[in-house]
Structure 1
Amino acid sequence: MKAIAIGADVSNNDVSTSKSLIENIEKDLYKLIDLGARNAALTNITGDDVVISAFVEDSLLETINQGIINILRDNAEDIGDVGGISDNPKTAGEGVSYAEAVIQQDRYPDAVILAFDTYGGEPFVGDAANSAIDAATGMKNLTDISNKIKDETKKIPGVGYVSNETDDPIVVATIEEIESVGIISSAMIGAALGNKNIYLVERGTPANIIPGSAILSATAFMNGNIIDLAIPFHQRTKILR
């Protein structure tokens, strides 16, 4: 079984995601359950990017991935990143972002999803995402974490190819014990924020930042529920006097 996440800019502007787009995507998530996904949710809303995540059996990976793309395409205000997908790596363009991580078969699936949104494809965002991956790697009770972000054309199972111009990365980590969700996610968030011009935002916050920066959202996907980790992380990192 795997935790998968696909992110895309399908908004009609470069800063925010409309309420109607969010509602329309959420109304269609039942289609992923009908296709066999164990759970599915609109986990991250980061500036003008949305991320649909699901827990799926390995045999259904390609089917669910294509189902997510269909939902994004059907509800898009602007075809945006979905239009960059190609069957041929040579013609692929800036497309959807993808991440997956393994879930142990004897564990109930819990996942942490980080999603980044750039305004102008700021190149440092890949380093920020990779910092989060490095921070979590090897931690106790981490089952798996998605592959590092690379400057190359990528094949998404069941979907097609996207080019190295794809610029809003996603990181997915699967975690075995509920008590470790906070420990591992905090390490990931902290590492990402240590990079220049990366700002943590609450789920659904517009990208109201100085251009040249990027924003980050962080959610826990547990038992089919979404927890916006930005809120407790902000509270826990307040300096006590």
Structure 2
Amino acid sequence: MRFGSQIAWLFVAGGALSSAASSSNCSLTSSDTDVLEYTWVLSNFLNSFYQTVQLNQSVASLVSNSTSSSKALENLEGIVHADNLTAEAVREVSSQAPDFKEPSCQYTFPPVSGIQSFVKWAYQFESTLSGAFIGAAGYTQSPEVAFLLARLAAEHSAHATWIGSRVNSSMFQANATSLVPAYAPSQVLLKTNETGSLGTYLGDCVSAPKNPCGVLQIGPLEANITSSSAAGSSSSSVAGSSTPLTSASATATATSS
């Protein structure tokens, strides 16, 4: 009996040690810290952009579509609130990351001359963040960070879809050959004004995280570790307008907090 009990104890102890080892392998690393700092910069940028504009019935009327402008305004305010939650989510996960520090950024923003212009940029930025977080998920080996990025990508994709559906006649194509765009960090940090890139506005305050497994090539349906890099691409446009827009900020710059 004692021999059998010892064997059983060894199995239990071995399982516990295996579980502990497996758990320790999932701890956040410095590589995850780089991903989280990059993620925080993007989240905080969009929050800062929304703070430059005063949401009101005039803005809501443009995106009301078949709903009332009051309901549209509620949705816009809900989107801004959700964007604040994304930054808070990054902070919570980052508390587990070694040596995480919120980068100090001097953001700049594109000129917003009217309501149409604001909606255009909001749609483009929400779409970019959705694809950026999908792409960043390929740069972590941590379940917690991967879960966070998946959730953030879904959140911003929902925002982009709602805003886009208000101003675009068609959001989905029957002949599409790609899933929702995904953008590698190196593409997101490019200094262009196209969807998928934000480098023009971030002030070089963060570097692209490196993939711990090699170079990730993002294709239309999947991603693979290869010897050459590529990223998903996307473009979107919303017709411009000179409709006046009330701005809550006299400048087009912001400092991250």
TM-score, normalisation: structure 1: 0.27
TM-score, normalisation: structure 2: 0.26
Of Structure 1 and Structure 2, the greater helix share is in 2
Q: Quick check: which has more Rg, 1 or 2?
A: 2
Of Structure 1 and Structure 2, the greater strand share is in 1
